[in-house]
């Protein structure tokens, strides 16, 4: 009998994170372990209680998830194994029988609350807000009375797990809102390239070096590598000091990426390699022909010839 | 009799924002209007209810304040008139008579909670967390019983306004934590340069242009302008689209900054000029001599001579 | 009666320079003054003896004409008014009656000699070389016996002026060889743009500044300006110090060129503006739309609005 | 008995090239083979008649020696083994008994003639010029009457080999004029680094790629490598197409140079590696600490660790 694998995720059942985990074929039929926050999920992985953790890393409206980015920047021993996109929308729910006109206080996770600002201003202009810990905890708090609110902003998945009245659907301000999740495992050998990969890095800039960000970006641009995401995060020791969380098109096994990583490592006082893994959209990476693998191989052959002292052909 | 000016700030009395406003000499003896959030403060200014608003813009640990940055990016008609730094630390408070060993639940604004993670893990390892709306609301909720907690993480200023028992001081994980606030007014003529100024901008990158961020940074580096802060924010329409919030050393009246702004405007589909204003630290801006004002003036004289057709001296 | 204009050129009749001058419509029916070298031609212009001088500036095989480039770099008061291309090929000529097999010594200007190396190696493998002062002086010296040679390499035009025997035609090694000439006048107002213009500059690099050449080139690339020619010349005071002679696509009246010239002037210890003038090939200058004139005008309007303190539209 | 080595150089005895060869310790007591031009010297090496050839490559006043640069660009199988500087000055000589006031015609190599322009204008304002093939041939022609001149501009060394009357010394216009020579051998293994080395390259730019020169220079600047010389030469097929002859500080065995060479090779359609060899001035190469060898080694170790899947230390 095979042992089952364990996946940690931000629970409870019904969260967007659970929806992300549902996209992982290997996770079907395995143990799903709901946790309370990102730190707990990553600790499960680092301490061996879970084989992997699904965590939110970036939201198209709210931006990078600070807790995730800062945890990945500071906890060694982790690798991203894959990314998953979940379209984000919200429902307004309450206890069975309640009507919209009865709602005076709305419970909501602050990020979700911010994304429903337009709808609330139009339909509940006089409401007050009570913060909740997750997009499911908001509904649970309303149901059990532990939160002083008549309605909750929740993930649509909540209706499958709780007996709630849906007061309104699609209340998010942006129909295209999407959250990007990553599946995190202990450090391991990078998976084989698929041609549609991305490489995630966290790069600290050298201090007292004007133009350091410019120089960091050049490490990629001079090898024909496109960046699909770049986010700044404060290092935390003083104002004006940043690390950058970067997604670069390509795989560490691509010659141009390998070379760029060497350049980045020489440049930066601290680099965290989060992994090379298949893109969620499976889009094949495009790059100028001059940065193809064989160009790199040919250049190495050439320089070996120079060092050997043999005349060029 | 002179009419008094009105300043909006995130209240109630005792917040870090109030401490920032207390640094503004012109605000003494004027009307201080506590509001509930950044949006309300900026609306006061835009709609003429206040002359200025003090809002938090960046925290050395948590990073840019998303709400502030996104509001400044999208609301036209505002200018930053000055910046103010407030050292951030926290106290743990409770109702009079309570002792630390009685605390099972802690009320705290999520940002403050994150910054006290180390202390709490050591002194209250088994506590639970209840979120509060501000660093004063946490204490108020504990005092009046509206939050189900025995203690609150609060700004030190709370002790001057509320009858609380201080259970612990300096519980923040980083002794150097500081928050940067800006005083925002309606659009106006930039103040005269002081030699120790910064210029704040929000710059949207052109789409589908690899290397766009690189090119944006070059607009500054090729004019000898240092950036003291750069933060990415999602534009919000799709993943991977960013605007950048930038603080550049110098004043729009400096020739090199004026020239860089022209370059940025030509490059970017959308630029918001937030203002040129004195730095909080009053440090004189350093720059290579070759980017001094007179070099720019001399070059303009030279090209005028070329166009006139007169032989060069 | 209109006074006739005078044009100096490297003579005598029959040189490639004369062929270039024949391309100038305004020069027809005017005074053509043959001179012995570039210095004499430019002195004629500077001292008022000629209205303009036609001089060779670049050869597709031999490269920049050092004497011309160095003279333009050091003599103030000159402007290029136009450029002209002459296809360069050579004939081997001798006194009437001579045969190829009788030739033991060949008279030739050193540049011409170098360009016929292949043909001579094949047809006259045992010849010796006697240097001559021009591509016509070589033939004259053979005709009058002042040069100890039986044949001369000459410009094809020589047959129209001298009674020579043509021993071989098209003896140049490269069929596409072309020489670029410029018509030089005293400093004057730049002519109106034609849309197919180039701007010529001589730019000295700042000393002791690594990356100075890189930075100079960026002044053009960051404004979407293509360089059609770039040549290094030693400044002459010590090894490793260079000035660069540059042809840039566009006209000083183009906003992007005007802006680039300002940038170059601020950067360089010494810039010589040689002129904006129509390209010989009349090819319309292409540039990215984002560097169009109206983008520059709009940016200036924008910054004027910022300084006025009026809210943005 | 050891076989003697043969060195080709531009003769005859008394030229500046001979003075350069005299600086080579290994050449003492060996066979010195005077030749007529650079092409002959390099052919001697390529065809095995000589072990090495001394050739002029750059003059501080006249610039790159075109023949040398073009020969090195097109002839495979050569390496530069060392460089040598010779201070360049000139004497005016004539047949014994002649006086300065008798001189009406001056024989001179064109390059030497150009460098004595100032002195001649002052002391022999009415002279005529007859070109000679070398700085010794000028004197020989005057002595034996084969050149129609009363005096010759010659290298100072001529007085040791010919019975001439020195009419004037130090007649060059620039007291600091210096010519750089290189000793060229067949392709061989690069010599061991000395810490004071330079690397010479000839690099062809890709066509139809705006900013190609900029990108080429970045290959060096992004590795902290300074260029001590850069010269453009036309490729020769059409106007506006250039190759660049470059001297870069450092040795192919330096990690940063090795890496830059790889980058250059990937970028350029054609690179000629002329060699890494000790600088004439023996000045130790300076570079930013961040481009030291061990930084490169450490980065390679790091990336190997990433690929192995082992957690970082």
- pLDDT above 80 for C307: yes
The alpha-carbon gap from B231 to the nearest alpha carbon of chain A, in Å, equals 5
- Residues of chain B found within 8 Å of residue C299, distances taken between Cβ atoms: 262-263, 265-266
Q: Put residue B65 in one of left, alpha, beta given phi > 0 → left and psi -120 to 50 → alpha.
A: beta
The whole-angstrom separation of Cα C290 and Cα B12 is: 49
Judge whether C150 and C124 are in contact, CB under 8 Å. Answer: no
- Contact list in D for residue A307 (CB cut-off 8 A) is 189-190, 252
Look at chain B and report how many structural domains it folds into.
Answer: 3
B271 strand-pairing partners: B203
Residues D197 and D184: their CA atoms lie apart, in Å, by: 16
Lowest mean pLDDT among C97-101, C216-220, D38-42, D250-254: D38-42
* CA distance, residue D293 to nearest chain A CA (Å): 10
- CA atoms within 13 A of residue D210's CA, in its CB half-sphere: 15
**Contact of chains C and A by CB distance (3 or more pairs under 8 angstroms):** no
- How is residue D191 annotated by DSSP? P
A240 vs B contacts (CB less than 8 Å): 228-229
What percent of the residues of chain D are helix, what percent strand, and what percent coil, each to the nearest 5?
30, 30, 40
Please give the ipTM for the structure prediction. 0.85
For residue D280, give the DSSP letter.
T
Distance CA D114, CA D66 (A): 16
Angle at D221 between CA D218 and CA D227, to 5 degrees: 105
C299 contacts B265? CB cut-off 8 A = yes
Domain presence at residue B313: no
Cβ distance D131 to C129 less than 8 Å, yes or no, reads no
Q: Are B100 and B111 contained in the same domain?
A: yes
pLDDT at C301 over 90: yes
CA distance C308 to chain D (A): 38
Write down the pLDDT at residue D145: 84
Instruction: Identify the DSSP state of D17.
Output: H
Is residue C35 scored above 70 in pLDDT?
yes
Residue A313 lies in a domain: no
Q: Which residue of C has its CA nearest to B274?
A: C306
Domain annotation covers residue A265: yes
The contacts found for B298-304 with CB under 8 angstroms, 24 or more apart, are B298/C265, B299/C262, B299/C263, B299/C265, B299/C266, B300/C262, B302/C265, B302/C271, B303/C252, B303/C258, B303/C261, B303/C262, B303/C265
- Confidence (pLDDT) at A66: 76
Name the 3-class secondary structure at A259.
helix
Asked if residue B195 and residue B183 are part of one domain, the reply reads no
Whether residue B1 has pLDDT greater than 60: no
Q: Which residue from B262, B295, B312 is facing C300, i.e. has the nearest CB?
A: B262
Q: Which residue has the tokens 């007859």?
A: D130
Residues of A in contact with B180 (CB under 8 A): 239
In this complex, which of C131, C217, C238 lies closest to D133 when CB atoms are compared? C131
Is the domain of B70 the same as that of B6? yes
What DSSP element (H or E) covers D8?
strand D6-10
Instruction: List CB contacts (< 8 A) between C238 and chain D.
Output: 60, 176, 178
Omega of the bond prior to C156 within 30 degrees of 0, cis? Answer: no
Per-residue pLDDT band at A135 (split at 50, 70, 90): confident
Between chains, do D230 and C232 touch, taking CB under 8 Å as contact? yes
Contact D14, D155 (CB under 8 A): yes
- What pLDDT score does D63 carry? 63
Nearest residue of B to residue A220, measured between CA atoms: B211
Q: Which residue of B239, B244, B279 is the best one to mutate when testing the A interface, meaning the one whose CB has the most A CBs within 10 A?
A: B239
Question: What range does the domain containing A278 cover?
Answer: 189-308
Q: HSE, CB side, 13 Å, CA atoms: give it for residue C211.
A: 13
Query: Do B183 and B202 fall into the same domain?
Result: no
Q: Indicate whether C194 and C102 sit together in one domain.
A: no
Provide the pLDDT for residue C242. 83
Q: Report the neighbours of C using a cutoff of 3 or more CB pairs below 8 angstroms.
A: B, D
Tell me: do A22 and A125 sit in the same domain. no
Residues of C in contact with D178 (CB under 8 A): 238-239
Q: Which residue has the higher pLDDT, C262 or D64?
A: C262
Q: What is the mean pLDDT of chain B?
A: 89
Percent of all residues in chain A with a pLDDT value above 70, rounded to a whole number: 96
Structure tokens at C50: 């000629």
Asked if residue A173 belongs to a domain, the reply is no
B233 backbone φψ class: left, alpha, beta (φ>0; ψ -120 to 50): beta
Q: How many CB atoms are located within 10 Å of the residue A179 CB?
A: 23
pLDDT band at B114 (very low <50, low <70, confident <90, very high): confident
pLDDT on residue D62: 62
- In a domain, residue B311? The reply is no
Same-domain pairing of A133 and A143: yes
D222 to chain A, minimum CA–CA distance in Å? Answer: 8
- pLDDT at A160 exceeding the cut of 70: yes
Which of C190, C299, C311 has its CB closest to that of B187?
Answer: C311
Probe site for chain C from B265, B289, B297, B305 (most C CB atoms < 10 A): B265
Lowest-confidence region among B114-128, B169-183, C174-188? B114-128
- Count A/D contacts: CB-CB distance under 8 Å: 89
What pLDDT is attached to residue A230? Answer: 85
C211 vs D217: CA distance, rounded Å: 8
The Cα of A21 is separated from the nearest Cα of chain D by a number of Å equal to: 24
Q: Do chains B and A touch (3 or more CB pairs under 8 A)?
A: yes
| Preceding amide of B12 cis, omega within 30 | yes
pLDDT tens digit at each of 313 positions of chain D: 468 999 999 877 888 899 999 999 999 999 999 987 788 899 999 999 999 999 999 876 666 677 788 889 989 999 999 999 999 899 999 999 999 999 998 998 877 887 898 898 889 988 877 777 678 888 998 999 878 789 999 988 888 889 999 999 999 988 778 889 999 999 999 999 999 999 999 999 887 666 888 889 989 988 999 988 888 888 877 777 788 999 999 999 999 999 999 999 999 989 999 999 999 999 999 998 999 999 999 999 999 999 998 776 5
- C-alpha atoms less than 13 angstroms from C-alpha of D37 in its C-beta half-sphere: 11
DSSP string for residues in B220-276: HHTTTPPEEEEEEEE-SSSTT-EEEEEEEES-TTSHHHHHHHHHHHHH-SEEEEEEE
- Is A57 within the bounds of a domain? yes
Mean pLDDT over residues A123-147, rounded?
83
Query: Residue C109: its pLDDT value, please?
Result: 80
Residues B79 and B153 both lie in one domain: no
Note the pLDDT tens digit of each residue in A65-93: 777 888 899 899 999 999 999 998 999 99
User: pLDDT tens digits, residue range A197-235?
Assistant: 999 999 998 876 668 888 899 899 889 999 888 888 888
Residue B249 has pLDDT above 70, yes or no: yes
Question: Average pLDDT in the A55-68 region?
Answer: 76
Are the C-beta atoms of residues B81 and B199 closer than 8 Å to each other?
A: no
**How far apart are the C-alpha atoms of D268 and D264, rounded to whole Å?**
6
- The answer to whether position A283 is within a domain reads yes
Q: Is the pLDDT confidence value at C1 over 60?
A: no
Q: What is the DSSP string of C119-182?
A: HHHHH-TT-EEEE-SSTTHHHHHHHHT-SS-SEEEE-GGGGGTS--EEEES---S-TT-EEEEE
- Domain-ending residue, one of A134, A168, A202: A168
Residue D211 has a pLDDT of 80
pLDDT value, residue C292: 95
Q: Is D178 left (phi over 0), alpha (psi -120 to 50) or beta?
A: beta
pLDDT mean over C259-270: 94
**Average pLDDT of the segment spanning C106-128:** 84
User: Backbone phi, then psi, for D31, in 5-degree steps?
Assistant: -85, 125
Which chain B residues touch C186 with a CB distance below 8 Å?
Answer: 311
In a domain, A81, yes or no: yes
Q: Which of A110, A229, A232 sits opposite B230 (nearest CB)?
A: A232
| Pairing mode of beta strands A52-59, A6-10 | parallel
> Which one has a higher pLDDT value, A196 or A59?
A196
pLDDT at A62 over 70: no
Q: Are A242 and A209 in a shared domain?
A: yes
Q: Cβ contacts (< 8 Å) between C216 and chain D: which residues?
A: none
Interface list for chain B against chain C, based on CB atoms closer than 8 Å: 76-77, 186-190, 215, 218-219, 222, 252, 258, 261-263, 265-267, 271, 273, 290-291, 295-296, 298-300, 302-303, 306-312
Task: Please state the φ and ψ torsions of residue C159, each to the nearest 5 degrees.
Answer: -70, -20
* C162 or C210, higher pLDDT: C162
Q: Which of B46, B199, B270, B306 to mutate to test the interface with C (most CBs of C within 10 A)?
A: B306
Give the CATH number for residue A286.
Answer: 3.30.70.260
Give the DSSP letter of residue D95: S
Verify that B235 and B287 share a domain, yes or no: yes
Please tell me whether residues A259 and A147 are part of one structural domain.
no
| Chain C positions touching chain D (beta carbons under 8 Å) | 58-64, 66-67, 85, 110, 114, 129, 131-133, 146, 148, 174, 176, 178, 180, 210-211, 213-214, 217-218, 221, 226-234, 236-240, 242
- Residue D267, helix vs strand vs coil: helix
Looking at the fold, whether D204 and D269 belong to one and the same domain comes out as yes
User: Any contact of D with B, at least 3 CB pairs below 8 A?
Assistant: no
Q: Which long-range contacts (CB under 8 A, 24 or more apart) does D295-304 make?
A: D295/A266, D295/D255, D296/A262, D296/A266, D296/D255, D296/D256, D296/D259, D297/D255, D298/A265, D298/A266, D299/A262, D299/A263, D299/A265, D299/A266, D300/A262, D302/A265, D302/A271, D303/A252, D303/A258, D303/A261, D303/A262, D303/A265
**CA distance linking residue D124 with residue A219, whole number of Å:** 60
Q: Are A58 and A180 in contact (CB under 8 A)?
A: yes
Q: Which residue of C has its CA nearest to B252?
A: C307
Distance from CA of B251 to the nearest CA of C (A): 11
The CATH number covering residue C69 comes to 3.40.190.10
């Amino acid at each position: 009998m095979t042992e089952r694998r364990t996946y940690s995720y931000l629970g409870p059942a019904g969260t967007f994170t659970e929806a992300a985990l549902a996209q992982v074929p290997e996770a079907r039929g395995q143990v799903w372990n709901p946790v309370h926050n990102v730190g707990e999920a990553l600790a499960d992985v680092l301490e061996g209680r879970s084989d992997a953790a699904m965590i939110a890393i970036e939201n198209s409206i709210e931006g990078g998830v600070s807790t995730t980015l800062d945890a990945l920047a500071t906890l060694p021993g982790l690798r991203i194994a894959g990314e998953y996109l979940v379209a984000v929308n919200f429902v307004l729910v309450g206890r069975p029988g309640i009507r919209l006109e009865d709602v005076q206080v709305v419970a909501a996770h602050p990020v979700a609350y911010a994304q429903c600002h337009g709808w609330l201003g139009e339909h509940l202009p006089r409401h007050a807000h009570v913060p909740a810990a997750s997009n499911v905890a908001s509904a649970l708090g309303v149901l059990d009375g532990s939160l002083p609110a008549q309605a909750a902003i929740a993930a649509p998945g909540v209706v499958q797990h709780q007996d709630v009245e849906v007061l309104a659907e699609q209340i998010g301000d942006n129909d295209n809102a999407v959250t990007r999740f990553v599946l995190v495992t202990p450090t391991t050998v990078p998976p084989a390239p698929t041609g549609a990969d991305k490489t995630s890095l966290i790069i600290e800039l050298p201090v007292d070096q004007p133009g350091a960000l410019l120089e960091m970006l050049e490490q990629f641009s001079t090898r024909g590598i496109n960046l699909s995401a770049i986010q700044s995060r404060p290092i935390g020791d003083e104002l004006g000091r940043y690390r950058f969380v970067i997604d670069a098109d390509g795989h560490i096994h691509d010659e141009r990426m390998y070379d760029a990583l060497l350049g980045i490592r020489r440049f930066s006082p601290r680099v965290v390699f989060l992994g090379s893994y298949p893109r969620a959209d499976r889009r094949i990476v495009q790059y100028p022909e001059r940065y193809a693998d064989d160009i790199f191989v040919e250049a190495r052959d050439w320089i070996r010839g120079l060092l050997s002292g043999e005349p060029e052909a």
